[in-house]
Amino acid sequence: MLINNYLTTSVLLLASLASAAPKIPGYELQWSDDFNGKKNSLPSSKNWIIDQGTSYPGGPANWGTGEIETYTNSPTNVALDGKGHLLITPRKSETGAWTSARIETVRTSFAAPKHGRMIVQASIALPNHNAAQSQGIWPAFWMLGGKYRGNYQNWPGKREDCEQPAFQADANLDFTAVGEFDIMENVNGVNQAFGTLHCGVSPGGVCQETNGLGSSLTPSKGALQGKYHTYGITVDTKSNPQSLTWSLDGQVFQTITNNSLGAATWKEAVLDSKFILLNVAVGGGWPGLPNEQTASGVPMKVDYVGVYYG
């Protein structure tokens, strides 16, 4: 089914042209980035933090996923194209080492209003190469619980799972388990968008970690690679039951309700505030390692990101 007629309209208008975050009837745009700026400039530091290296300080190695790239703030990996798009570009050096980019919003307070709804969506064109050239390439548009920032040991898990000596002395750290919305993930150039909720405890739990609760959809028109599509998630606290819904170009492909998670996990994983991330990983436990045919220098392009409350 389709949600919100604006989605279908905005998808048709987007094509390959830069555009502002569209209006959504019944919603107010709370935050957005249209990635306007000079060619080869970095995304706005008012909106984005550029992650660097192979982990957060004190966080899991290789970003907790086994990916092999090093994230940088070099314009060769993350830059505006001067036409209203953000480019995140994985590159392989002459030595065989990979670099790429991962950015996250400065703001960590994105959450659905009480008895209201929040839509988080972006227009993204995945790296434009075929599956034979895509082994190990892992683009993503996602969200993490705000309480993860500065802690980096509470995804997801009970407090006792996180009480490592390095963190026990810091009384300011909050070990509440955080949730993760994978609004869009893609691996190895397949023509499918994957959406996943991670929550609760790991391994196992109500979110069946470490896999999470996921589904996928193949676009009804056009490939994901090289073409702009609209990826969105809606948190609905107005309806009964409350729900979390994934969509691709307005077509819903997964819905999870509070009844399936329980009140405590639903609050931690879904209702608590979050920040937004965009990245292209290389390697990792899901896609596997790149090979000799994996293309270097092919970007994921982002037209806009918008957050709406209604």
Confidence of residue 176 (pLDDT cuts 50, 70, 90): low
As a whole number, the mean pLDDT across the chain is: 89
pLDDT of residue 18: 76
d(CA 67, CA 65): 6
| Cα atoms in the 13 Å half-sphere on the side-chain side of 248 | 26
Radius of gyration over every alpha carbon of the chain, rounded to an integer in angstroms: 18
Alpha carbon distance 195, 214 (integer Å): 5
For residue 4, is pLDDT > 60?
Answer: no
Number of domains the chain is built from: 1
Q: What is the pLDDT of residues 261-302, one digit of tens each?
A: 999 999 999 999 999 999 999 999 999 999 999 999 999 999
- CATH number, position 15: 2.60.120.200
Tens-digit pLDDT profile for residues 64-106? 999 999 999 999 999 999 999 999 999 999 999 999 999 999 9
Q: What is the 3-state secondary structure of 112-127?
A: CCCCCEEEEEEEEEEC
Per the structure, the complete domain to which residue 73 belongs is given by: 5-309
* Among 57-71, 149-163, 170-184, 237-251, the least confident range: 149-163
Count CA within 13 A, CB hemisphere, residue 215. Answer: 13
pTM: 0.90
Taking a C-beta distance cutoff of 8 angstroms, is the pair 43, 101 a contact? no
Predicted pLDDT at 11: 41
Instruction: Write down the pLDDT at residue 23.
Output: 96
Closest by CA position to 307, among listed 254, 238, 232, 243: 232
